[in-house]
Structure 1
Amino acid sequence: MGLPIETIKDDLKREKGQVQVMSTLPLKAMSRIWGRFNELEIPYYLRVPGFKLYSFIFGVNLSEVAEPDLHVYPNLASFFYRTLKPGARPLHPNPNALLSPSDGRILQFGVIESGEVEQVKGMTYSLDALLGTSKPATTPNPADPSNIFTPPQDTKPKQSKARYSDGDEEIIKQDEKFATVNGISYTLPNLLSGPPQEQPGKSTSDASTTPKAASEAEVRADLALGEKPWYSRLTSENKTALYYVVVYLAPGDYHRFHSPTAWVVEKRRHFAGELYSVSPYLQRTLPGLFVLNERVVLLGRWRWGFFSYIPVGATNVGSIKINFDRELRTNSLTTDTAADRAADEAAKRGESYSGFAEATYEAASPILHGHALRRGEEMGGFQLGSTVVLVFEAPKGERPSLDEGWMGQKRKGGWNWAIEKGQRVKMGEQLGWVDGA
């Protein structure tokens, strides 16, 4: 029996009221004040007792910190963004494993159905709302995950704006050979609701930096193992599905995040959003928290298709650093980002705003047309605890035939989870793996 209509209305009113109350708080201003406080220099004689007290309260393991002398950290911000000793986070040996991008706790994971991602049990939000879309969805069947993907019009590698020296000619030749052999397009199609519409006076900036040669080589080799072009539509014929996982970082966790696999990042979208707390309690009580909050959406591909990586900001955090992005430093202490400025200008004109500013990493590689990242490579970090959401395409396996015996609901091959809800994980540990790859 369903809930009475009065109960449903009461729940909706309460949820709307929670959002309204939270929206009245000056959370971004509070975050900037907190950021300035974090950067205040701590007196030399107070650093050791202060950081030890913080470590005791939040469970920081000081034995794994790269710089054991706590006097070296001049302020809270530098201690939050601490590095670890080499080998403190070994990578899982399975080459087909997807690694945890950070330290933290598993809040939610599963398969995406009907274009909805589960925030907590019984509370979902739209995949389009999380990742963004270039134009309103017009599909008659939004539940079909193949609507997310649109094959590119041109599968030939395009000329990059990046400039390369004579010594890089061999790398370019290798990339061209790889693209030809594998039939892979190196331009990111519009992943959500078709190709972008041209808007007068609006362009996508390039935020590329030069990737490490080792990263580019590893990604080329890994993508070469794929059996299909990365942009193939998600249908029952190609036996793939969209999966997601949410990792929550607590204040005492290691705050840098890393690449969970070898992949290519082609675009990023910065959503100005708000800075609500991403604590487990608020996730249970505030609907659509991750699509309200400030976040950076990194879009690209891995061996099995589409891959996205979403660092989500939180109250008293507000600064999501992306190491390979020349422009991005969200919720800056002194200046607004492009997304912040665009949102403010649209509000002054009384116009709606799509919610994000987009940049490309196309110039990072002449053939890959994106920034290559190898598994375990540092990507950036938070200034305090927050959340990382992964949304990715992977094989879903096959149900065994009757001749092979009954296995219940278990599929053979395909994607397998290696985690449980609420489990503590360290960066580099296995979240799941593709069987039979």
Structure 2
Amino acid sequence: MTFKVFLQYALPHRFLSRLVYWATRWTFALWKNWLITTIVRNYQVNMAEAAQPDPLAYQHFNAFFTRKLRPDARRADADPAALVSPADGRISQSGAIVEGRIFQAKRQEYTAAELLGGDEAAAAPFHNGRFVTVYLSPRDYHRVHMPLQGTLRETVHVPGRIFSVAPFAVAAIPRLFARNERLVCHFDGEHGPFVVVMVGAILVSSVATVWDGLVIPPYASSIRRKSFAGQNITLERFAEMARFNMGSTVIMLLPEGMAELDPLAPQQAVQVGQRLGHRPG
């Protein structure tokens, strides 16, 4: 075990995340400007795409981090049958779910049921389905969009650790995505159910949705389910659905036959709206 991996187990995850949550919302100009310029410089953030291109105009670091893009900065694939990327980032892994098991990294996998909070019934439609995992780094746009049109049925806030989701941790920590704090969003689409999972990460495991506002934190001590049945919350393909306050990972689960994935290589860069696959028929 490397020292970096050891720290993932040893660090007080929630204490650090609460501290960073506060620090990234501090409006003191010298502090927030230093944080923003450091990230822009070190990660070569493309501010020309932002609706507000001046990085120092943001009220605090989190406002910069969750910045809105210009309307023309991203476009959905023109084919209405295309499955589109929900996030900017890099493909961590993608492919077939094999008898309920999802590939994480070499010698690492987890089950769909574990990811969905231990719910075998909810995982059943995805037993031999497809998955796509997208990793968002600090340089990326951190709003998450719909891969397909869907009507929100339920969200499940699953408690857990807050390990880093950087590639070194994904390769080393068993079942990482099924252990981290996460928000599971269940949708009903035209061709069946699908799931978008917002996986939290160390240093602010914070998620906000367009329908409920800030959901994480507070951190959960037990599974929290919230039904949206009958509320008719329908989001179009490519519509914004949520945002991460700091970096993390998005995982899509699709039932067998809903879509065939295009060839997607690990570490391949993707953008919101980019075609990842195609619905048959």
TM value normalised by structure 2: 0.91
User: Partner of 1:221 in structure 2?
Assistant: none
List alignment gaps of at least 5 residues for structure 2.
none
Q: Does 1:299 find its partner at 2:186?
A: yes
User: Partner of 2:12 in structure 1?
Assistant: 26
User: Partner of 2:25 in structure 1?
Assistant: 39
Spell out, residue by residue over 1:67-104, the C-alpha distance to the aligned partner (whole angstroms, 9 max, x if none): 12334212111110110001101111111111100100
2: distance between equivalents of 1:314 and 1:34? 12
Spell out, residue by residue over 1:309-342, the C-alpha distance to the aligned partner (whole angstroms, 9 max, x if none): 001000112111111026x5212xxxx35xx2xx
Contact 1:299–1:309 (CA under 8 A) maintained in structure 2: yes
- SS for the counterpart of 2:87 is coil
- SS for the counterpart of 1:296 is strand
Q: Does 1:126 find its partner at 2:111?
A: yes
2: distance between equivalents of 1:269 and 1:426? 26
Contact 1:44–1:71 (CA under 8 A) maintained in structure 2: no
Of 344, 360, 364, the match for 2:231: 364
Contact 1:267–1:300 (CA under 8 A) maintained in structure 2: yes
**One-letter code of the match for 2:155?**
R
For the aligned residue pairs, the C-alpha RMSD in angstroms reads 2.6
**One-letter code of the match for 1:420?**
A
Spell out, residue by residue over 1:126-167, the C-alpha distance to the aligned partner (whole angstroms, 9 max, x if none): 111001245xx6xxxxxxxxxx4xxxxxxxxxxxxxxxxxxx
1:124 deviates by: 0.6
Of 251, 265, 270, the match for 1:420: 265
Q: Does 1:83 find its partner at 2:76?
A: no
Structure 1 residues 93 and 40: CA distance shift in structure 2, 3 A? same
2: distance between equivalents of 1:270 and 1:294? 8
1: distance between equivalents of 2:77 and 2:91? 17
1: distance between equivalents of 2:30 and 2:74? 30
1: distance between equivalents of 2:88 and 2:6? 32
1:22 deviates by: 3.8
- SS for the counterpart of 1:124 is strand
User: Partner of 2:215 in structure 1?
Assistant: 329
Structure 1 residues 19 and 79: CA distance shift in structure 2, 3 A? closer
The answer to which of 32-41 and 65-74 deviates more is 65-74
Contact 1:255–1:383 (CA under 8 A) maintained in structure 2: yes
* Structure number with larger C-alpha Rg: 1
1:52 deviates by: 3.7
User: Partner of 1:378 in structure 2?
Assistant: 240
Contact 1:112–1:244 (CA under 8 A) maintained in structure 2: yes
2: distance between equivalents of 1:309 and 1:45? 34
Q: How do residues 307-318 of structure 1 correspond to structure 2 at under 5 angstroms?
A: 307-318=194-205
Structure 1 residues 234 and 388: CA distance shift in structure 2, 3 A? closer
- SS for the counterpart of 2:64 is helix
Which runs of at least 4 in structure 1 moved beyond 6 Å after TM superposition?
Answer: 18-21
1: distance between equivalents of 2:91 and 2:113? 22
2: distance between equivalents of 1:243 and 1:87? 30
2: distance between equivalents of 1:234 and 1:57? 39
Spell out, residue by residue over 1:358-416, the C-alpha distance to the aligned partner (whole angstroms, 9 max, x if none): 00112412xxxxx21101111111111100000011428xxxxxxxxxxxxxxxxx624
User: Partner of 2:97 in structure 1?
Assistant: 112
Q: Does 1:66 find its partner at 2:79?
A: no
Contact 1:304–1:393 (CA under 8 A) maintained in structure 2: no
- SS for the counterpart of 1:265 is strand
List alignment gaps of at least 5 residues for structure 1.
1-13, 138-147, 149-190, 194-232, 236-240, 344-354, 366-370, 397-413
Spell out, residue by residue over 1:3-26, the C-alpha distance to the aligned partner (whole angstroms, 9 max, x if none): xxxxxxxxxxx69xx998644421
2: distance between equivalents of 1:251 and 1:375? 25
Contact 2:100–2:112 (CA under 8 A) maintained in structure 1: yes
Contact 1:418–1:430 (CA under 8 A) maintained in structure 2: no
1:192 deviates by: 4.3
Structure 1 residues 71 and 373: CA distance shift in structure 2, 3 A? same
1: distance between equivalents of 2:246 and 2:35? 17
- SS for the counterpart of 2:215 is coil
2: distance between equivalents of 1:313 and 1:45? 25
Contact 1:317–1:382 (CA under 8 A) maintained in structure 2: no
TM value normalised by structure 1: 0.60
Contact 2:100–2:123 (CA under 8 A) maintained in structure 1: no
Give the structure with the larger helix fraction: 1
Give the structure with the larger strand fraction: 2
